[in-house]
Amino acid sequence: GAGVSQTPSNKVTEKGKYVELRCDPISGHTALYWYRQSLGQGPEFLIYFQGTGAADDSGLPNDRFFAVRPEGSVSTLKIQRTERGDSAVYLCASSWTTNTEAFFGQGTRLTVV
Amino acid sequence: EDQVTQSPEALRLQEGESSSLNCSYTVSGLRGLFWYRQDPGKGPEFLFTLYSAGEEKEKERLKATLTKKESFLHITAPKPEDSATYLCAVQGSGAGSYQLTFGKGTKLSVIP
């Protein structure tokens, strides 16, 4: 595609529910990243994929968070038992390699009520 | 641990009034310093990558420069459409070298 696409744009969920956030990277980009941005802050790293494998998930805050990229293209970030503190904008980015600039999607705004 | 500090937090300029945004950083081996622009409700939009001290890059009214400790984003004769939050990020060569470490950003408002 022309750019990184994220769905949904907005998600409101109740505390304790499960959510999935989808990222469709730029075609051909092998590196994919998830970041989280809270109000007034810069994005914070969550997880990095090179191809299908999670090369680094050190930024995931706890074991309620999990992400997959089964075919090396689309990725899904999964959050179990959501908490109000999970409310933030979740950003996905992709790049040709780790040595090139990353291009971001428009983000998914998650609100846990 | 890589760190990025941006100043000022917010900046109001009259249209045509040139100024600079600052990005101070500490990193274990700089692989790249990145500038992004972020509009409200949007994801960051890539502007520049700088790799070594002394490097400069320009795009329309924006010019980014890099030293060993900081980067500046110079805005010449800004227009209202330049209003946005400008984010600076570094990529180091230590553990997790593919991660970007971002500053909190500078919110720029250009008044007509």
| Residues B42-61: tens digit of each pLDDT | 999 999 999 999 999 999 99
Cβ-based contacts of B42 with chain A (< 8 Å): 106-107
Residue B93 to residue B80: CA distance in whole angstroms: 37
φ/ψ bin of A30: left (φ > 0), alpha (ψ from -120 to 50), beta (otherwise) = alpha
Nearest by CB to B102, from A43, A58, A101: name it: A43
Per residue of chain B (112 residues), what is the pLDDT tens digit?
A: 899 999 999 999 999 999 999 999 999 899 999 999 999 999 999 999 999 999 999 999 999 999 999 999 999 999 999 999 999 999 998 777 788 999 999 999 999 9
Chain A residues within 8 Å of chain B (Cβ atoms): 4, 6, 31, 33, 35, 40-45, 48, 55-56, 58-59, 91, 93, 98-99, 101-107
Chain A residues closer than 8 Å to B100 by CB: 33, 35, 43, 45, 102
CA gap B112, B108 in Å, rounded: 13
CB within 8 Å: A58 and B89 = no
Q: Which residues of A touch B105 (CB under 8 A)?
A: 42
| Residues in chain B closer than 8 A to A91 (CB atoms) | 43-44
Using alpha carbons, list the distances in angstroms from residue A31 to B16, B19, B98: 40, 35, 9
CB B9 within 8 A of CB B104: yes
Give the chain B residue whose CA is nearest to the CA of A45. Answer: B99
Ranges of chain A with pLDDT below 70: 1
pLDDT for res B1: 87
Q: What is the pLDDT of residues A13-40, one digit of tens each?
A: 999 999 999 999 999 999 999 999 999 9
Using alpha carbons, select from A69, A63, A77 the residue that is nearest to residue A31.
A69
Q: Which amino acid is at A113?
A: V
